[in-house]
Structure 1
Amino acid sequence: MGTGAGKRTRRMTVAAVAAVAALGLVPGCTLSDTRGADGKADSGGRVLAVKIDNVGPARPQTGLDAADVVYAEQVEAGLSRLMAVYAGRLPSVIGPVRSARETDLELLRQFDDPALAFSGAQSKLLPLISAAPLRPLTPGKAPGDAYFRSGAKPAPHNLFVRPKALDADLGKGGLESTGFRFGPRPKGGTPERERTIRFPAARFTFTWSAAQDRWLVSMDGTRARTADGKQLAASTVVVQYVKVRESRFHDRSGNNTPFTETVGSGKARVLRDGRAYEARWDRPSARGGTEFTAADGGERLPFAKGQVWVVYAKA
């Protein structure tokens, strides 16, 4: 390597380290860096996170109903993308799988050695992903039969993954580090039948069904179903109001990639059992989960057992 190339490489390395530091990720850290001085993991068991496509041609998705938590975040052009987190059972197929974003790295810091299945990422983001304390599982790094293209959808909305082929090695207690607490319905709250959260070019609606004891999910005005026709439904919905700002990344069309700040504090609304609870969220550090407390008294808000949807709405 010539002198000029060597300088360019060093400059790229310094830039990558600076970007990682800005995210709160320790440059050069390994998965063992998520453990405390006693050698024990700071959080619970392992999870598998999968980036899920969420534009019209990608629907209906597969395997989304089996997720323990579904995070909805804003991406380029005001559209939405999902990150499904699996801590218990794994479905046979999940998808369509799409690319990772900078927001995912901060969000996943709360988990112990998480695996992230995604289709790839833009070149400038790859050094941050490599430095993050997670196991990246792209088609190029997974077993040959783990990912496949389906003829039922057009590219690029046709990449699916067989999660059991990824050897994700899920562990008990995978959701403990989220800060979520599950329990009986708390006192208070107000009756709520329906709630809509809007992104610039996407929207999520959750409609309470007393018969199913769930919040039925609709996306962009259409009931959300799985590929086999099952209605997507959540036991608890969290509308978390956060700062959504521009990042230094752009897509191929020049649209800026938003960065959702999940560390900090702010307002939230928790929906469960047909009621809405005004809440506060607090996540002091990227290494920890998010605590949700009642806005009027500071008591922890327990969630209903079952699937949780967290929608990051702009504050």
Structure 2
Amino acid sequence: MKNKLVVLVMIFLLAITILSACGGKESSINSEDERNKEEEAAEIPESTGIYNPLTGLYVENIQNLTAVMIDNLAPARPQSGLIHADIVYEIEAEGLLTRLMALFYGNPPEFAGPVRSARPYYMQLAKEWDAYYVHVGGCNESFAKIGEWKIRDIDDVKGHRGFFLDKNRKRPHSTYINFAEALNGKPENGNFKNWVFVDTPEKEPAYTEISFRYNSSNRVTYKWDMNKKAYMRFLNDKLYDDRESGEQVYTNNIIIQYAGHRNLQTELQHIWVDVVGKGEAEYFLGGQYYQGTWEKKSMTEPTIYYDQQGQPISLVRGKTWIQILRPGVRLDKLTN
């Protein structure tokens, strides 16, 4: 009986030892798993830098939000700085020619240009952003509205700082703006919209090529680049590139905004574009296509872009080009 009791005690102690060993091993595995998870979490890159509400991306540095009137005539191309702009508007001026208004905020270039003259409807768009508006003079109505609308004015004609001439370009395509000099000492500004940004969809593009005309010598084309996940810009079937780097200008979002145009019957045939109001819109966002509408209730209120359900659209993170066209302009959409 005594021997049996000894055997039972030994078996009991052995069982406790085995269970303890198993428990200790399990605890060790769990601790190692937790350490691995912590190490993996530490390796996941977190968003660093300054959030750019114009693109949904993080940037290393920012400047005062600035809207620059950019020349788009042949002698002005290739332009400087457009490839670094967060948002670019292209709108008609007189004679069916177009000018660009580029917004710079995150990771801005040193300079941009060539800079051209002001027009009131561009100023209405600059006002909704509360941007500093960079230009070289303008029509009489523009001068009148700058004071009335309290535009944050930076004008070469008025002798404001930051402008310089490029000796390799002929007037009026030779004036450029140096941002650091122009914005030095300027107070903070900017009305930043509550735009929602999403990642580029992992889908085949709805259309691989989009094109439209402002006039016979201005045919804009965007071609989807699967590797870059962006729309590459062409003008009259030629690369639309950056003067300094030679890289092709691109965008992640294209907004087609249809707005009324009318001739003001002035000597120089100035026009007016109804950027305050509402109308139809089409969107090419990260390769996907949508239809909708836009509305801007007043000069100081933001332009809101809606989908077909009447909800504000979500943009893909990155750059946006806003093409303002006359209603009825033909939009060619091609697939491979």
TM-score by length of 1: 0.76
Whether the 8 Å CA contact 1:70–1:310 is kept in 2: the answer is yes
**Is 1:194 matched with 2:213?**
no
**Is 1:182 matched with 2:197?**
yes
How far residue 150 of structure 1 moved from its aligned partner, in angstroms, is: 1.0
- Taking the TM superposition and a 5 Å limit, the aligned residue runs for 1:1-315 are 47-112=65-130, 114-142=131-159, 144=161, 146-167=162-183, 169=186, 174=190, 176-177=192-193, 180-184=195-199, 191-201=206-216, 202-228=218-244, 229-247=246-264, 249-251=266-268, 256-295=269-308, 297-315=309-327
How far residue 180 of structure 1 moved from its aligned partner, in angstroms, is: 3.7
Whether the 8 Å CA contact 2:200–2:229 is kept in 1: the answer is no
Against the structure 1 CA distance between its residues 188 and 249, is the aligned structure 2 distance closer, same or farther, given a 3 Å change threshold? farther
Could you say what the CA RMSD is over the residues aligned between the two structures, in angstroms?
2.4
- Aligned amino acid, residue 123 of structure 1: N
Percent identity for Structure 1 against Structure 2: 25
Whether the 8 Å CA contact 1:48–1:170 is kept in 2: the answer is no
- Aligned amino acid, residue 193 of structure 1: T
How far residue 247 of structure 1 moved from its aligned partner, in angstroms, is: 2.5
Against the structure 1 CA distance between its residues 75 and 129, is the aligned structure 2 distance closer, same or farther, given a 3 Å change threshold? same
Would you say how many aligned residue pairs link Structure 1 and Structure 2?
A: 262
Deviations 1:182-235 (A, max 9, x none): 224689997111111211342221111111111001123321101020110001
Whether the 8 Å CA contact 2:163–2:182 is kept in 1: the answer is no
How far residue 154 of structure 1 moved from its aligned partner, in angstroms, is: 1.9
Deviates more, 1:84-93 or 1:133-142: 133-142
Whether the 8 Å CA contact 1:207–1:215 is kept in 2: the answer is yes
- Aligned amino acid, residue 118 of structure 2: A
Whether the 8 Å CA contact 2:128–2:191 is kept in 1: the answer is no
Over 3 Å off, 4+ runs: 140-144, 168-172, 184-190
Whether the 8 Å CA contact 2:205–2:224 is kept in 1: the answer is no
Distance 1:298 1:138 in 2: 39
Deviates more, 1:278-287 or 1:230-239: 278-287
Against the structure 1 CA distance between its residues 283 and 143, is the aligned structure 2 distance closer, same or farther, given a 3 Å change threshold? closer
Higher helix share: 2
SS of residue in 2 equivalent to 1:125: helix
- Aligned amino acid, residue 181 of structure 1: V
Against the structure 1 CA distance between its residues 142 and 53, is the aligned structure 2 distance closer, same or farther, given a 3 Å change threshold? same
Structure 1, gaps ≥5 residues long: 1-44
Structure 2, gaps ≥5 residues long: 1-62, 328-336
Whether the 8 Å CA contact 1:87–1:171 is kept in 2: the answer is no
Against the structure 1 CA distance between its residues 157 and 142, is the aligned structure 2 distance closer, same or farther, given a 3 Å change threshold? same
Distance 1:129 1:101 in 2: 10
How far residue 87 of structure 1 moved from its aligned partner, in angstroms, is: 2.3
How far residue 108 of structure 1 moved from its aligned partner, in angstroms, is: 2.0
- Aligned amino acid, residue 298 of structure 1: G
Distance 1:189 1:87 in 2: 31
- Aligned amino acid, residue 197 of structure 2: F
Distance 2:233 2:285 in 1: 13
